[in-house]
Amino acid sequence: MSEATITVLPGDGVGPEVSAQAVKALRAVEKRYGHTFTLHEGLVGLDAIAAEGSAISDATFETCAQSDAILFGAVGALPAAEHRADGPRPEQALFRLRKEFGFFANLRPVRPAEALYEASSLKPECLKGADMVFVRELSAGLYYGHMETVPGKPSEIRQRGGRTEAVDTLLYTEEEIERVVRVAFDIAAGRRARVTSVDKANVLSSSVLWRQVVDRVAADHPGVTHEHMLVDACAMRLIRTPAEFDVIVTENLFGDILTDEASMLTGSIGMLPSASLGVRRTAGGRFGLYEPVHGSAPDIAGQDAANPVGAVLSAALLLRHSLGLEREAAAVEEAVEDVMRDGYRVPDLHDEGCTVVGTEEFGRLIVHRLEARP
């Protein structure tokens, strides 16, 4: 039996609706497998701005720091009338958490559910067996200079020699590459033992270093095979033969683009979970932040219509990567698949012959499957 402390930050829009289903799944796991999870709920986003003056207060941040993991809903969508250029914005909550906790590895598993093959833009026979995990570098690379100008990593529009020019810097240290590549090999060791490292080594120096580091880390993992793939080739193969991939590790920008491409294999943005892992270790793995890939979806908020699968699968990732509870994580994933195989759908995936249910009911069905497990 495990004990763990989890901070739940539901946030804005559909965030509270989908987080509530993830919490229900965690409570069901706690009961079914005899663990003790202490859950603290905190304000982030619009409610935090209204009540505390910032998107995440120091007190809430400290609660997160004392936890084994953070379960996050979504933040966003300040009403246009309240928007002030210099005022606090809901997204600042996420930026602060990412930055101060040093989350450097962003995991996005993409496993199209067989029951949803028809909802994908690819032919069912292409999707058969597709089950991959992206490990995207999250803390460095081309995006790094975006929010502040770091000496030696310029990201700016400037005047030079009477002309206007713009510069961004793609800079990686060996350490930054190595720590994310190690996460990828560790994950592959627990899966089909195959790492695809994606780069652009035919033109970028940072990719040449990236390959060297990958080869060196690979030497420590004799049980895991690895290959290098150019990013343009990878973009093609993801939609041609997605089943060939197991774990894909890549730098920040490439990962941003490739994960959006791959996400479409699953049929809806509401299906996708994510994990952001940092350097701090927990008893069962790494401290991390877990959230669905989608945003606050203000267009469907408050209608009991949001797909809770991304949030519930994020709770499964939390069990796996921060608490070290692999069997429980797999149980949640299987419960979600069972509900879909039984023909239940949330409105974003409604299909002929299926039973359309709301967010709450879909969450209840998942709990029911978890409770019924042998």
What is the binding site for ligand NAI (CB under 6 A)?
Answer: 14, 18, 74-77, 91, 94, 269-270, 291, 294-300, 306-307, 310, 348
Cβ 111 to ligand NAI shortest distance, Å: 17
Active site residue 99: no
86 as an active site residue: the answer is no
Catalytic-residue membership of 232? yes
Taking the alpha carbons of 343, 346, 347, 348 in that order, is the dihedral positive or negative? Answer: negative
Who's near 222: CB < 8 A, 6+ residues apart? none
Cβ nearer to ligand NAI, comparing 238 with 300: 300
300 is in an annotated binding site: yes
Per the CB < 8 A criterion, the answer to whether 49 and 29 are in contact is: no
Residue 152 marked as a ligand binder: no
Nearer to ligand NAI, 242 or 267 (CB): 267
| CA 148 vs CA 97, 169, 170, 207: distances in Å | 16, 12, 15, 24
Query: CB 91 → ligand NAI: shortest distance, Å?
Result: 6
- Which residue is closest to Mg ion by CB? 256
Between 186 and 351, CB nearer to ligand NAI: 351
Strand-strand pairing, 163-167 and 156-160: antiparallel
306's contact among Mg ion, ligand NAI, none, with CB below 5 to 8 A by partner kind, is ligand NAI
Helix (H), strand (E) at residue 99: helix 92-100
When CB distances are held under 5 to 8 angstroms depending on the partner's kind, the choice from ligand NAI, Mg ion, none that residue 246 binds is none
Whether 338 is a known active-site residue: answer no
- State the catalytic residue, choosing from 131, 143, 153, 168: 143
Q: Note if 123 is an active site residue.
A: no
Q: Whose Cβ is closer to Mg ion: residue 244's or residue 256's?
A: 256
Rounding to the nearest 10 degrees, give the CA dihedral for residues 299, 303, 307, 312: 120
What 3-state DSSP class applies to 11?
strand
In the bound state with ligand NAI, the residue whose beta carbon lies nearer, of 84 and 160, is: 84
**Which residues are within 8 A (CB) of 201 and not within 5 positions of it... i.e. 6 or more apart?**
207, 208, 210, 211, 228, 230
**What letter would DSSP give residue 324?**
-
At 298 the three-state DSSP class reads coil
* Site mask for Mg ion (CB under 5 A), range 214-253, x = bound: ----------------------------------------
Question: Which residues lie closer than 8 Å to 213 by C-beta, 6 or more apart?
Answer: 174, 177, 178, 181
Amino acid 74 reads A
Rounded alpha-carbon distances, angstroms, from residue 289 to 81, 85, 93, 185, 242: 31, 28, 12, 20, 27
Question: Which one of the spans 68-76, 162-170, 255-263, 335-343 is the region binding Mg ion (CB under 5 A)?
Answer: 255-263
Site map (CB under 5 A) of Mg ion, residues 27-46, x = contact: --------------------
Q: Smallest distance from the beta carbon of 357 to ligand NAI, in angstroms?
A: 13
Q: Which amino acids are annotated as binding site, given as ranges?
A: 98, 108, 136, 232, 256, 260, 295-307
The residue ranges that bind Mg ion (CB under 5 A) are: 256
Active site residues: 143, 200, 232, 256, 260
Q: Which amino acids are annotated as binding site for Mg(2+), given as ranges?
A: 232, 256, 260
